[in-house]
Amino acid sequence: MTPQHSKKASVAATGSTLWDLEAWKNAWVKLLPQHAYKNPVMAIVWLGTLISLVSTLMGQAEALFGSMVTIILFLTVLFANYAEAIAEAKGRGQAASLKQARQNLTARRLSSMQDSTGTEVAATALLINDLIEVRAGELIPADGEIIEGCATINEAAVTGESAPVLREAGTDRSGVIGGTKVLTDRIVVQVTADSGNSFLDRMIALVEGANRQKTPNEIALGILLMVMTLTFLMVVLSLPFIAGFLGIKVSPIILVALLVCLIPTTIGGLLPAIGIAGMNRALKANIIAKSGKAVEVAGDVDVLLLDKTGTITYGDRQATAFHPLIGVTETELRQAALLTSLADPTPEGKSIVALAKELGEKVVEPEHAEFIAFNASTRISGINLQDGQQIRKGAIDAILKITEKNGNNHAELKARVEQVASKGATPLVVARDEHVLGVIELSDVIKQGIKEKFARLREMGIKTVMITGDNPLTAAAIAAEAGVDDYIAEAKPEDKIACIRREQEQGHLVAMVGDGTNDAPALAQADIGLAMNSGTQAAKEAGNMVDLDSDPTKLLAVVEIGKQQLITRGALTTFSLANDISKYFAILPALFVVALPQMQVLNVMRLSSSESAILSALIFNAIIIPMLIPLALRGVKFRPSTSTQLLRRNMMIYGVGGVILPFIAIKIIDVIISAVFQL
């Protein structure tokens, strides 16, 4: 077992047990006032515990009964603290291994690109824009962008994936993370983050919970719980006056017990753990969420924008055929396509060279030629030869603009393009000077299972939109095969932002995925921007989530994690409010049955005595919190369904179950208490 796998196993073990000693220690620390006030509901219970203790010591209740109430209330607070502590412990276990990846790092800082030796400095001394050289076998000392060279890098310290990845200057896979290891070659990296603000530093802070901010829904629910708590507090404070008219003296211990049973202590105790666990589940899927809000918003997303290449398809489009126009030989087309692709670093360019060589073309690099790199705006690349020839390859509309003076074969060209596009392949047009030579057929493959994933999203009411630079025919063929709801063809970077804004203006929450610098504006505009770990620093800064596996299809998993977060909080809130009903039937008759015998009709559980009823309700109120901790950490199982179906399911399982279970449990506890303590 590798160290990384051992780390993950230990983390899993930490989260799976309810007897973590470190978590119990932190649960006691959270009893201190500076921690306790952060959870108002449980702070009220903690204050009630102290009032019960003082009242018992002052003789305002029977010693045994008062002591038992105090102990039960104290355990209620401790269990709630433990729920939060065990969730935080999971994050600390993950953070410990991340800290190891950045210990004692040194850097070889270069004064300029011409500096061949450099100066050895501590990684902590590096500043933004410093140049560092990293060679094979060395750890990368800081986050940055490769500006020279390419190398295979082991990112297991961050992602847990032992397979090396390729990072290369000048591509959308130029970003590197401090603490990862260069396996081959040499690279020059420009530092993009100061010490203490690196990707690893922010990851550690996030998983430890130090920077966890409450989500809007969590804040709203917290306000609701606080309002309910204050309302019941006023009700309980008014009871002594009402009881006075009936000639009943109610002790402070009874009032505290009633208050604790009335307020929503179950969800109040579990709410922080649910929020922390949501981010932990995202991290378990190798997704770094920059805030809990990002995880939660993902559950409300109703529009997904996905790039075709690398997301819906495998991304490595391969040249599979050359289609010359009439009057052009296949050799002419192959040779022209080969020349435009000799310096093309893209997979498509390399595949064109490979296919041309396979069909018999010899590779002879022209002297004094100028290579024209692909541009996202013009969507053209090519080469200028020494004899003045200009050879270009690109999208049909872009090529037509530069060959519009010679439109003799444009009709034939469009027919060829439609023929290729109708098969779901991508046509790439080749022109020499102002004459179109023919079409290169680039074939891509739909990822296995992607259609089923889109079907699941459709069941959840989420619209999927494919964005591609392909022509409309190709886009339509791929969209139909993949099963997306809509598509945007011949899209430029600004089209992504326009699409996102258009959807947002209609009231939709939009998610998208990206890895390049040109994706950064759209990632920032989207409600959920999932940036690839392999992508540029600009993309990672713009997005509010980073996928450590650099798998664009992970966006589908992000939505499910977000929905599971919302469902878990909703289900446990429903259960918490529902099980309060049984406690009313236990406590209220116990308070007034002596003065008002008619109240006995409310004692539907036929509890043995007033003291036994109160203790039974309090014990159930306490033990239900640790019983629900595994569910809060694991999350309620998510099944694709509509909001109405989810509501109906939650009400049946957690609503009805939350009413019935406490009646049974409180009665069992009452039988045990009355038998043991003769109450």
Active site members: 307
561 is in an annotated binding site: no
Sign of CA dihedral 510, 513, 519, 523: positive
Residue 89, annotated ligand binder? no
Say how many CA atoms lie within 13 Å of 562 toward its Cβ: 28
Return the CA Rg of the chain.
33
Is 185 known to sit in a ligand binding site?
no
User: What is the DSSP code string of 543-612?
Assistant: SSEEETT--TTHHHHHHHHHHHHHHHHHHHHHHHHHHHHHHHHHHHHHHHTTT-GGGGGG-TT--S-HHH
* Residue 348 counted as an annotated binding residue: yes
515 is in an annotated binding site: yes
Say if residue 378 carries a ligand binding annotation: yes
Quote the tokens at residue 77: 């607070």
d(CA 311, CA 558): 14
CA 99 to chain CA centroid, nearest Å: 21
Q: Is 374 annotated as a binding residue?
A: yes
Residue 278 CA: distances (Å) to CA of 219, 281, 575, 636: 15, 5, 19, 11
SS3 303: strand
Helix (H, G, I), strand (E, B) or coil at 204: helix
**What ranges make up the beta strands (E) of 345-434?**
370-372, 380-384, 390-394, 426-432
3-state secondary structure 416-452: HHHHHHCCCCEEEEEEECCEEEEEEEEECCECCCHHH
Name the residue among 616, 675, 307, 628 with its Cα closest to residue 492. Answer: 307
Structure tokens at 533: 């770990």
The answer on whether 344 is annotated among ligand-binding residues is yes
Q: Is 547 annotated as a binding residue?
A: no
Distance between CA atoms of 137 and 160, rounded to whole angstroms?
18
Is 370 annotated for ligand binding? no
Question: Would the annotation count 375 as a binding residue?
Answer: yes
Q: Are 23 and 81 in contact (CB under 8 A)?
A: no
- Binding-site residues: 344, 348, 374-381, 393, 515, 519
- Binding-site residues for ATP: 344, 348, 374-381, 393
- Binding-site residues for Mg(2+): 515, 519
